[in-house]
Amino acid sequence: MRRPLIAGNWKMHKTVAEASAYLEDLIAEDLPTSVDVVCCPTFVSLPAAAMVVTGSQIGLGAQNVHWDTSGAFTAELAAPMLTEIGVQWVIVGHSERRTFFGETDETALDRARAGQAAGLEVIYCVGETLAERDAGETFAVLERQTATLGALDPGHLVLAYEPVWAIGTGRTATPAQAQEAHAFLRVRMASIFDGAAADGMRILYGGSLKPSNADELLPLADVDGGLIGGASLDVGSFSAIIRAAADCAAGDES
């Protein structure tokens, strides 16, 4: 059985002080231990956040990483710089990076490889735009976006299916749409890696996931947790989603 993972992508939100206060409050929530929990603050908050989460169940993630270990890459950060301060996870290929910062399937793969080489667990984002879905191209897009993932270590890879039309829009994939895409991705992982790797890989849903729809999306057979943007910014909402994931895991066991 795959252990649920709930990851918060804070994007460009929260000052250093706000990040620390949030994490202290989250730790005080006495969260279920059956769920892996990761928070991904801004780069500047990571050192303070690392101090707060040390010894807790909260994992720490960055929102990006460069593909080289050092060099003339203004405003970028290398993976060893992240691991040095206690970061364990990194988000790669997020649609906002693809849309606003020129991220491609190639650069996303390079970043993921560098992250894994330094010991980071990679959350690799894929997902179609509304135009692509409407044109019936969802599977073709997912196939293209995952085409090079065979270069990665599946044991340190989490996929995040994030339909672009559902990110930050309040629109959510229906359970049927989410399950269909996740099942497709799992079969795809089996063909790229093998059945055991695909069975063991966590595939997160992302796109306006919140406490009110977590109960519909998290129990789906091929949904192993969530990558949460907006609803992760509030300790109460994020904790509620973590508890919903724990309830699903408990339901699976009984």
Which residues belong to the active site? 94, 162
Nearer to ligand PEP, 9 or 239 (CB): 9
**CA-to-CA distance for 147 and 14, rounded, in angstroms?**
35
| Token pair 């795809």: residue | 188
Nearer to ligand PEP, 32 or 226 (CB): 226
User: At its nearest, how many Å lie between ligand PEP and the CB of residue 212?
Assistant: 13
Applying CB under 6 A, the span of 19-27, 150-158, 186-194, 207-215 interacting with ligand PEP comes to 207-215
User: At its nearest, how many Å lie between ligand PEP and the CB of residue 194?
Assistant: 28
Structural contact between residues 65 and 111, judged by C-beta atoms closer than 8 angstroms: yes
> Which token pair is 154?
């599946």
User: At its nearest, how many Å lie between ligand PEP and the CB of residue 141?
Assistant: 17
11 is in an annotated binding site: yes
**CA-to-CA distance for 98 and 96, rounded, in angstroms?**
5
Residue 171: Cβ within 10 Å count? 12
* 145 binding ligand PEP? (CB under 6 A): no
Q: Residue from 118, 158, 228, 245 that binds ligand PEP (CB under 6 A)?
A: 228
Helices 16-28 and 46-53, axial angle in degrees (round to 10): 20
**What are the φ and ψ backbone dihedral angles of 18, each rounded to 5 degrees?**
-65, -40
- Applying CB under 6 A, the residues found at the interface with ligand PEP are 9, 162, 167-168, 206-209, 227-231
